[in-house]
Structure 1
Amino acid sequence: MDVQTMSESVYVGMCIKIGTPQQVASRRDIVDMVELLGNQRGVGRSMDSGSQREGFRFHDSDIDTMFWPTNHRVIWDLSQSEYYNLHRQALILCDSSESPAGFTLLWLPLESAAQIVLSSCVRMNGGLYISSSKYRENVCASLTPDSRIHGPCSTSTEGSENYLTLDHDEANCFVSDVWPPSASSWIDRCHSWPPLHVVNDIVRNGCHFVAIGHKLGNHEDNEWRISFSQAEYKLVYSMNHTQFLTYGLMKLFLKEIINKELRDEETQLCSYHMKTAVFWAIQQNTLPQWCPQNLLAGFWVCFRLLIKWVYEGICPNFFIPENNMFLSKIHGQAQTSLFRRLYGLYEKGIALLLHSPSIRSSIIDVLCNPRLTVCTDEHTLISEAEFDVELFREIHGSDAHRTSDLQLCMKILHTVEQLIGSPLSQYQVVSLQKHTATILQCTAFTLHKCTNTGVNKQMYIADKMPCHMLKLVAKFGCVSDMLYIAMYYYKTLRYREALSVIEMTKVKLAQPYLMYLDRVDRERYTEAVGGQSWSTKIRQAVAMNIKLVNKICYINELLPEQQSCTLSSSHTLLIPPYVLLHMLEFLSSRHVDTVRAQTALDELQVLVHHDQGPLIPFYHRDISWEILGICQQMAGNLQAALYSYQQSLRQYPDHKIQTATTKRINDLHIPT
């Protein structure tokens, strides 16, 4: 058996399952861009963490986000207070004297802080300390009604752009600009990995503190855990692709073999243990070369290290080795039982991976064909169109910087202006292009609302800026972004101009090479725009769902639906572009061409009644039936409208518009 060929086969299988180097790089760059634009609010900052941030896209990966206030800083020594303006920032002092390694108490020496912090404090040793358990409870109570406490996080369940239901973990924490003294030994260990510039960047950015104490500590309810999430994603970024896939292989090994058929409360090992094993294995130079031919050897090194830790009952934290992460869970009979299970797998050799559904076929291919030659060149693993589908879906899913706050819009646009002249990757360029289009359309509609004075001259002057912005959106946004200027023209009673834009949009949306979500004719797409820049592709060949910010009125006809969404703590309404196109054509034509209005309504009805997914995804059928009902009601066909509203109520309630739908049904007043 040729182990190197088998490693190459698994490498290829993992690239298809987890992502090629290009796919992983694009995901990370897009997340980085979103974070950069999102952190323009003055009161706090946020950071994505966990596997999504690292570049994985497993279907069941939770979304992890960390939030921290910018007007609070944690220091390790009172002498560090000289670096801060005490009028602007509340200082929090670490007190690790009574806590296990990796944990600390947080003391307020001046007893001045935000109200939510002060209300989370307890008196200890004559001082005021922030209780982690109280802080968790107070933060969770201030979030959405369905939020629940999960470890140090507030967790809520939400849909995603990929039409999955995921848990979103939000960890509200504090930040320190200073690297923890207890982790100073980590700096001294970094001789071969990570590179010096990565070490310096990590140390320069300090650490965070998340609201959970050590289960065996003296102050479990009040302690805080030192978090190295920011350092960890930078370490993962610095891995080569074989090392990254080894980490992914360890995660799959955990999920599909070690923890298979175990309930959450029965599991002893977690993904963080796998990550820690990979970090140590890379840093200790246990493998001379991390390359596709050595992928399985790298996995085996990490697996042996994991077994050693379980046997000894010690899993040393990568940054603070004195913090034994097995201490509170893996000991006694549980430790013995887990070691026997792992050693039983170890005795099977690499054949143990045949138990993994994700990896099995890659191994069987080599076993059945010993002379198999494997090509690991990433350009042979995924076509241009397939890569673009994921890239634009990623950009669409991360396009969340929608706001009705004009001041925030200006801040983001100012950041965009600064970024244009800075060195950006090709993925960041196209991502920035779409985000800019989004913030421009939000600014345009918000400006219209703020300047709608009713005075003709002022309105004329005030109208020029939103029009200019929306023309820019249509110029460098995606194809479907043209519908925003059509909505604006309709809103400002320029029906013929709206119809002119709608006609152009209709032609572009009808092109056979157009990409919409996962729907694309790959051959025609490649023939039309293959080899061109992603900036060109998004303008000429990509359509996305129309997202309406619920605090902004785009057209009056959809206000009840937006208000219904808002009641359910939903911030945006997502509409398939083909549905909105027909709706706008119907609405605008009613004022200038009644025959065309009826044709548009007929086309909308055929689309909603007969489309099985290509143009109206499953999760958007509730709003699509709703829009059909609105148009039918306006046309005077009340029975058809009633049927459409009833159909809307029968769909998956993704948009939370049932309140609006029920009211519309009650307002029909159909005679019995």
Structure 2
Amino acid sequence: MGTGDNDDGEMSANIDIRGDNGFAEISTFIDNFIKMSTDDFYDRKISAHDKGHGECYADIDSSDKLGYDKIVRGSAMICLQKISQSLQMFHSHEYRNTLSLHLSEVLEEIGVNEDIIMERRRLNMLMENIQTVGYRSMGFNLSVYHLGSQSEGTTTLGLCSDADILHVFYGHNVIQDLSEWKKNKINLLMIQEKENVTPGYCYLQLLRRDKPLFETVIPIDPIVKEHFIKDSSGRILLKNTFLCDLYDNSERHGPSNAVRGEKGYSDIDIVYAMHCNSLPQSASNFLDRHGIGTWPTSEMIRFISNNGCCLVGASSKISTYPELEWRISTSLGERYLMFNLNITQLHCYVLMKIILKQFLTPQSPLSSYMCKTVLLHCIQNTGRNFWKKNNLFTCLTYCLLELQSYIKNENCPHFIIPENNLMAGQFTAEEVKLDILRRISYIIQSDGYKTYHGHLQRHQDQQQALDNLIKTTMHDTNLGHKETALNLLAQCLEQENRPIKALWMYVRSLTQRRRKQRRKASSYTI
């Protein structure tokens, strides 16, 4: 076994631990490691003490080199067996189960757990009720709804998700049939003609107040006059800027008005919409279908149907008349579906968003809403037993494969209104699409670890990131689950062909476990 010094000052070793002599080669390597680390331990301990970091080595109960030698040798042999087993199961079902459970544990530690999710939902539901009461007390006929990741509980601090707030106005009677017309109300008829209107969108045609007939004259009221237009067919159509223009004190961001949050608070996107009591005809297929495992359930479908839809002032990317198109939104129904997902399904969605944020943006036209839509389709096409914690890695892979297929075909069907292609007009440059497909393909084929490995652009950046992680893990006194963190860090170092530090982290993980066991035993004694 040849050894030498590599760039970061640790011993390097070229060991074929998958061959027949792998165990013997590692045994020889361990002997060299013990000799080096025993001498190095006291140098580091003295240096750390001089720098005021002596507590970093306080968990090793050895008073001399011989005692430390025994600890390292015994721990190293256990680690040797651990490494051998992990290599054998690397591509096995057990490996994926173990990785899934670790992944779920990490997500729960950073806030994506059932307790935090329920608290987020309760808080947002309370806030929207308070805001609705406030607006109605001032005479506004509207309701406030908190949507998106913040209210669903599908976010982390690192994702920096905006707070999405929907203001739904009920002062207009938005209908799909003239039989729903109401006297002395502002009646707006949804026009969903296939020739000019993008699927999932509509025009809003003004009707007369006194009779269920089409209006032929633009209103003379100066406040609303500029928001209507007469088309070549003589129809009086409402522009999609109508609601947003009523609120001119904030920055426009797509269909929403963006409010920049103060320091320590999320940015807020406020979307204004009008309510329609029924779903569009294009959603009829959703109302009649059931997926594998009867999801969505009849109760979910009934709730979505009874709550109708909203009309948001936004056009599609491929619209012929972008100022006239209104998007048909089923956000409230989708929120209800998200509230009925299990923790593994929510974990999968959060992981997709992390991948989107870390590896696919800013060049990517993909959005978290597309990821949510992919997830809902995948849930519908699988059984309930598929979505379990120990199968999270497989669930994520399945969702990424489905996303990859949608991108190849440039067709991501809306979950409730499948005629609405969310990817229509999104990929204007072929090279962007190919780059996204290449990245997703790499992630799928990476077997988990290389997702982290492959996208750090330079080797030195990768090594620096690992070194920073080592420092944080070793010196952060408030770090929870330190044993698990050290173990996972050792696996990363092992994959990076840094066996010295990997074995050192395994040793630290084992000694951390012993300390925990001793504390537990002493508490029982007391």
Where in structure 2 are the equivalents of 1:2-401 lying within 5 Å?
A: 2-40=95-133, 41=136, 42-59=140-157, 60-81=160-181, 84=182, 86-87=183-184, 89-97=185-193, 98-110=196-208, 117-124=224-231, 125-132=233-240, 134-135=241-242, 138-141=245-248, 144=249, 147-159=250-262, 163-191=263-291, 192-259=294-361, 262=362, 266-285=363-382, 288-330=385-427, 332-354=430-452, 364=488, 367=491
Gaps of 5+ in 1: 374-672
Q: CA separation of 1:341/1:286 partners in 2, compared to 1, >3 Å: closer, same or farther?
A: farther
Q: Which residue of 2 aligns with 1:636?
A: none
Q: CA separation of 1:271/1:99 partners in 2, compared to 1, >3 Å: closer, same or farther?
A: same
Q: Distance in 1 between matches of 2:328 and 2:141?
A: 22
Q: Distance in 1 between matches of 2:205 and 2:105?
A: 51
State the SS of the aligned residue for 1:272. helix
Deviation at 1:57, TM superposition (A): 4.4
CA offset digits 1:140-188 (Å, max 9, x no partner): 42xx3xx1111101112122xxx52532111111111111111111122
Q: Which residue of 2 aligns with 1:532?
A: none
CA offset digits 1:215-261 (Å, max 9, x no partner): 212111110111111111111101011111111111111112222xx
Q: Distance in 2 between matches of 1:175 and 1:352?
A: 47
Deviation at 1:351, TM superposition (A): 2.2
Q: Distance in 2 between matches of 1:29 and 1:179?
A: 27
Q: CA separation of 1:46/1:362 partners in 2, compared to 1, >3 Å: closer, same or farther?
A: farther
Deviation at 1:55, TM superposition (A): 1.5
Q: Distance in 1 between matches of 2:261 and 2:322?
A: 30
2:317 and 2:426 in contact (8 A); partners too: no
Q: Which residue of 2 aligns with 1:659?
A: none
1:28 and 1:54 in contact (8 A); partners too: yes
CA offset digits 1:596-650 (Å, max 9, x no partner): xxxxxxxxxxxxxxxxxxxxxxxxxxxxxxxxxxxxxxxxxxxxxxxxxxxxxxx
2:364 and 2:432 in contact (8 A); partners too: no
1:178 and 1:205 in contact (8 A); partners too: yes
1:75 and 1:176 in contact (8 A); partners too: yes
Q: Report the AA paired with residue 410 of structure 2.
A: G
Q: Distance in 2 between matches of 1:96 and 1:338?
A: 33
Q: Report the AA paired with residue 322 of structure 1.
A: E
Q: CA separation of 1:299/1:120 partners in 2, compared to 1, >3 Å: closer, same or farther?
A: same
Q: Distance in 2 between matches of 1:334 and 1:287?
A: 35
Q: CA separation of 1:200/1:115 partners in 2, compared to 1, >3 Å: closer, same or farther?
A: farther
CA offset digits 1:85-134 (Å, max 9, x no partner): x33x42211001120111110111125899755541111221211111x3
Q: Which residue of 1 aligns with 2:37?
A: none
Q: Report the AA paired with residue 488 of structure 2.
A: I
2:229 and 2:238 in contact (8 A); partners too: yes
Where in structure 2 are the equivalents of 1:425-464 lying within 5 Å?
A: none
Q: Distance in 2 between matches of 1:325 and 1:155?
A: 22
CA offset digits 1:295-334 (Å, max 9, x no partner): 1111111011011111222111111222222221125333
CA offset digits 1:491-543 (Å, max 9, x no partner): xxxxxxxxxxxxxxxxxxxxxxxxxxxxxxxxxxxxxxxxxxxxxxxxxxxxx
State the SS of the aligned residue for 1:334. helix
State the SS of the aligned residue for 2:373. helix
Q: CA separation of 1:129/1:361 partners in 2, compared to 1, >3 Å: closer, same or farther?
A: farther
1:90 and 1:113 in contact (8 A); partners too: no
Q: CA separation of 1:37/1:311 partners in 2, compared to 1, >3 Å: closer, same or farther?
A: same
2:359 and 2:439 in contact (8 A); partners too: no
Q: CA separation of 1:345/1:120 partners in 2, compared to 1, >3 Å: closer, same or farther?
A: same
Deviation at 1:290, TM superposition (A): 1.0
State the SS of the aligned residue for 1:175. strand
Q: Distance in 1 between matches of 2:485 and 2:415?
A: 33
Where in structure 2 are the equivalents of 1:521-532 lying within 5 Å?
A: none
Q: Distance in 2 between matches of 1:158 and 1:7?
A: 35
Deviates more, 1:110-119 or 1:62-71: 110-119
Q: Report the AA paired with residue 130 of structure 1.
A: L
State the SS of the aligned residue for 2:448. helix
1:117 and 1:130 in contact (8 A); partners too: no
* TM-score, with structure 2 as normaliser: 0.62
Q: Report the AA paired with residue 96 of structure 1.
A: Q
Deviation at 1:37, TM superposition (A): 3.5
Q: Distance in 1 between matches of 2:225 and 2:188?
A: 12
2:148 and 2:163 in contact (8 A); partners too: yes
Q: Report the AA paired with residue 374 of structure 2.
A: A
Deviates more, 1:72-81 or 1:99-108: 72-81
Q: Distance in 2 between matches of 1:69 and 1:273?
A: 26
1:139 and 1:172 in contact (8 A); partners too: no
CA offset digits 1:408-438 (Å, max 9, x no partner): xxxxxxxxxxxxxxxxxxxxxxxxxxxxxxx
Q: Distance in 1 between matches of 2:368 and 2:228?
A: 32
Q: Distance in 2 between matches of 1:20 and 1:114?
A: 53
2:129 and 2:144 in contact (8 A); partners too: no
Segments ≥4 residues shifted beyond 4 Å: 111-118, 355-358, 360-363
Q: CA separation of 1:158/1:231 partners in 2, compared to 1, >3 Å: closer, same or farther?
A: same
Q: Percent identity?
A: 25
Q: Report the AA paired with residue 298 of structure 1.
A: C
Q: Report the AA paired with residue 327 of structure 1.
A: A
Deviation at 1:189, TM superposition (A): 2.2
CA RMSD of aligned residues (A): 2.9
Deviates more, 1:95-104 or 1:37-46: 37-46
CA offset digits 1:550-596 (Å, max 9, x no partner): xxxxxxxxxxxxxxxxxxxxxxxxxxxxxxxxxxxxxxxxxxxxxxx
Q: Report the AA paired with residue 15 of structure 1.
A: E
Aligned residues: 354
Deviation at 1:139, TM superposition (A): 2.6
Q: Report the AA paired with residue 148 of structure 1.
A: E
Q: Distance in 2 between matches of 1:198 and 1:286?
A: 17
Q: Distance in 1 between matches of 2:165 and 2:220?
A: 23
Deviation at 1:340, TM superposition (A): 2.3
Q: CA separation of 1:254/1:18 partners in 2, compared to 1, >3 Å: closer, same or farther?
A: farther
State the SS of the aligned residue for 1:65. strand
* TM-score, with structure 1 as normaliser: 0.49
